[in-house]
Each structure stands twice: as structure tokens, then as C-alpha cells.
Amino acid sequence: MEYVIIAIALLAMELLYFRIADKLNIIDKPNERSSHTRITLRGGGIIFYVGALAYFVTNHGEYPWFMLALTLVAFISMADDIRSVSQGVRLLFHFTAMALMFGQWGLYALPWWWVAVALVVCTGIINAYNFMDGINGITGGYSLVILAVLAYVNRAVVAFVEPDFIYIVMLSVLVFCLFNFRKRAKCFAGDVGSVSIAFILLFLIGKLVMQTEDFSWIVLLAVYGVDSVLTIVHRLMLHENIGLPHRKHLYQLMANELHVPHVLVSLLYMAVQAVVAIGYLQCRDNGYLYLAGCVVLLGIVYLVFMKKYYHLHEASQRDKTVKC
């Protein structure tokens, strides 16, 4: 009954946000780099932060440093959704938030260079997760898969976090999916959504890594990770500014050039990550070997796909240039 009440409250908060966003004109207008064609409300993913806040309030202020960190990244991301914020300011907020979350993890007990490496890697992860948010359903669906796996691990493998935290965040993601995981989305996550859920997932996976002293749990982000990293490498090879929006991710080519429905592309990413995670749980004794194998296999799939279909993206860009 408690979860039902929280779910209803989250749904009400999401609907309230829609009214606010509509009045304040917080919208996402399609442009040449978009994978959508209709003006849509932006920032619906704020519900992820609200879900984490609901847990914090109803559980006697559990994980205070993490909650403060999440508030910082949600605030600057929401500000960026309303009016563009400079990259330097965003990074300052992200680094500060990471420093707070590291304290919640207990990371400062490790040598300083571990902290330095973690700062770079973790900041890269949340920004990569943000870049992957480009079509209907992908952020919500992919996040649900990771949360479901983490809930199972927390219950059946090793307890690393209070279960209610995962369950309430899952409820917030489900509420968001009601309005985003469909052909015509009512809202997009916005930076506030994609960055916030990335930060939440990073917090959970980090706690799991610290609890087990096993970094191979990062396999839970393998599908997004391979797509993001290889796309960044590709763009660097093309001498592009990797901080600017684009349409070169594998999922974007599927949705835009191959015209695969957004929901189907999102389901495919969910399914592949679910298979990777299930396989990992069966091969935990060789976790690092399994992680390496997955990265290599996913990388090969990425390269073969790009070799076969990337020319379609180039052709579409030439057509747009000619029309202009």
C-alpha cells in the first residue's frame, strides 16, 4: 500500500510538472540533430529526482551526502533545460556533486589517485548517459533494466543498499515511461532527467562495487558504454567537437536512417543489456573476463553496423546541405 501511495503521488507530481512546464514554455523544439519531429515538453525526468527525494524524506534522511549531491546535479541540469548553462559551470557542479557522493561511498579511505580516476570516470559516465538520451523510451527503459538487476542483486546476491531506495526510484521511472515510452511522447527526460537517473544508477553501482570490491559490475552499463565511447572516438576521428549535439550514435542511425520505430530501438537496447547482465550473474567467478568479452563483442557489432549503414547518415546530411 505504501508503494501504491508513493506511485500515485509521483504521478500527480509529474502531471503538475507538465502544467508548470507548459506555462513556462519548457519545451524541446526539433532541429537538424533531433530524432523527433514534434514540439514536446522537456524535463519530465525531474520525477527521478522527486522519487529519490521521496525516499530520503520517508526514510529519516538516509544517504544525506548523496541526496545533496543529486540536488546539485538536478538543479544545474534543470537550469540548463530552461536556459543554456556554460560547460564550465556544469562541470563545476558535477565535480562538486561527485566529491559529495564519494564521501557517501567512503571512497576517501582509498589512495588519492583512486579518487582522481573515479572523478574523471564518473563524470564521463553521467555525461555519456545524457548523450544517449535521444529517442522515446530509451532512457526510461534502459534504466528500468539496470534497476531491476540491481534490485535482484541486492536481494539475492549481496545487500549493498536499502531496498526501498531502488523500488521507489523504479516507481518514478515507471511513471516517466507512461508518458515517454510510446510512439508520441508526452514529454522528454531533459538533462534534469537523464543526468539525475545516471547519477542515481552510478551511486548504486558504486556502492555495489565498494561492497564487493569488484569493478566488473560496471558491465551493467556495457551497452551504453560501448555505444558512447566508440561514438566519441568516431567523432574525434572526424575532428568534431564532441560537446555538441549530433546524430551519430548507433541507436540514432537505427531510428533516423533505418526508420526503425523508437520504441523498438529502445526495446532492443533493453533486451541486449538484460542479456548481458543475466550472463554476468552466471559468470561472476570470471567477471573481468566476461566484461572484456562483452565489450569486445559489442564493439564488433558496433563497427560492423557502422561500416554497413553509416553512409546513410552521410547521405542524409548531404541532402540537408543541398536543400539549405
Return the H-helix or E-strand segment holding 261.
none
C-alpha 247/C-alpha 190 separation (Å) is 17
3-state secondary structure of 28: strand
Evaluate whether 254 touches 323 at the Cβ level (below 8 Å).
Answer: no
C-alpha 253/C-alpha 222 separation (Å) is 19
When pLDDT is averaged across residues 157-167 and rounded to a whole number, the result is 96
CA-closest candidate to residue 244, choices 262, 258, 231: 231
DSSP structural state of residue 41: E
Which pLDDT score, from 0 to 100, does residue 134 have?
83
Q: Which three cell numbers stand for residue 235?
A: 567523432
Which pLDDT score, from 0 to 100, does residue 36 have?
59
Return the H-helix or E-strand segment holding 242.
none
pLDDT tens sequence across 188-235: 999 999 999 999 999 999 999 999 999 999 999 999 999 999 999 999
Beta strands in the chain (DSSP E): 27-28, 40-41
CA-closest candidate to residue 260, choices 165, 183, 146, 198: 183
Which pLDDT score, from 0 to 100, does residue 292 have?
97
Which pLDDT score, from 0 to 100, does residue 32 have?
54
3-state secondary structure of 104: helix
Residue that wins the pLDDT comparison between 95 and 320: 95
Averaged pLDDT of the chain: 92
Cell 552521410 sits on residue:
314
